[in-house]
Amino acid sequence: MIDKTSKKPLKRRDFIRKSLHAVAGLTIGGLAGILFSKSSSEEMVWQLDPNICIQCEKCSVNCVLPHSAVKCVHSYSVCGYCDLCSGYLQPGTKVRDTGAESQLCPSGALKRTYVEDPYFEYTIDEKLCVGCGKCVKGCNSFGNGSLYLQTRHDRCLNCNQCSIARRCPSQAWNRVPASRSYILKGDEKKKFLKS
């Protein structure tokens, strides 16, 4: 690093080095300043908009997790509690029972319990749900659309580039602020936004 032949070039080189150092420092500082002016103290997380979702079933296979972080959720305030639930039963099924062959859910995650005549409550076992959205499609076709898909943030790793979002055909995915990390329907939406 030491040029022993003469002293002049050393000074010149030093000057260039010092000024470049200052320029680099100022560039980083300026960039950081601009970025801070556009920043938020909140983390951004991934969420899908159920109003845009087309239930293509890609959420269930494209997550980096072995079991997708996308699960079906159920808005009880929107649900009609139907006996003939098009999200629960196979289309065209004659019997309305809880037999595996009459269920639409491939993993039996959607559970049905009797409330009172003629109403049935539907709940989702998240441990079993694979996030395929078959029930969502069924519910949207004939029902109120009370079943819909959401990323569950206790499972989501919040990758910098969500691998589901990248492959979503309807571009339903977006980065949302952590405090508004769900895009909900019905009363749940109001409650969530209030809190």
Partner 1 sequence: MRYKSRRSKLFIVALLFLFPLLGLSQVPERVPKPDFETDYIRPDFLTPTPRATALEYIDIGVLIVALFLATYFAHKQRSRQNIFLLMVFSLAYFGFYRKGCICPIGAIQNVTYALFNPAYAIPVFVIVFFVLPLVLALFYGRTFCAAVCPLGAIQDAVVLKPTNVPGGLAAVLSVLPYLYLGLAVLLAATGAGFIICQYDPFIGFFRFGADFNMVIFGLSMLLLGTVVARPYCRFLCPYGVLLNWMSRLSKRHVGITPDECNNCRLCEESCPFGAIKKPDEAAPPANREAEVKKLAFIIVLLPIVVFGSGWIGSRLEIPLSRLHANVSLAEEILLENSGQRTELTDETKAFRASGKPTEELFAEASAIQRQFKVGGWILGGFIGLILCLKLINLFMRRRQSEYYVDKGTCLSCGRCFSYCPYEQVRLGIITPKEAEKMGSKEVKIKQFRA
Q: How many residues does the chain have?
A: 195
HSE-CB at 191 with a 13 A cutoff on CA atoms is 8
Site for partner 1 in 91-110 (CB under 8 A): none
77 binds partner 1 (CB under 8 A): yes
Query: Rounded distance, CA 148 to CA 184, Å?
Result: 9
Does 10 help bind partner 1 (rule: CB under 8 A)? no
Measured between its terminal Cα atoms, the distance across the chain in Å is: 62
DSSP 62-87: HSSSSS-SEEEEE-TTT----SS-TT
**Closer Cβ to partner 1, 24 or 95, answer by number:** 24
From the list 30, 95, 106, 119, which residue makes contact with partner 1 (rule: CB under 8 A)?
119
Nearer to partner 1, 99 or 141 (CB): 141
Smallest separation (angstroms) from partner 1 to the CB of 95: 15
The answer to whether the CB of 109 falls within 8 A of the CB of 124 is: yes
CA proximity to 195, closest of 155, 182, 51: 182
Residues 72, 109: contact at Cβ < 8 Å? yes
Q: Does 43 bind partner 1 (CB under 8 A)?
A: yes
Pick from 7, 8, 12, 41: which binds partner 1 (CB under 8 A)?
Answer: 41
Of the two residues 91 and 100, which places its CB atom closer to partner 1 in the complex? Answer: 91
Whose Cβ is closer to partner 1: residue 43's or residue 99's? Answer: 43
Interacting stretch for partner 1, rule CB under 8 A, among 99-107, 127-135, 157-165?
Answer: 157-165
Position 6 contacts partner 1 (CB under 8 A): no
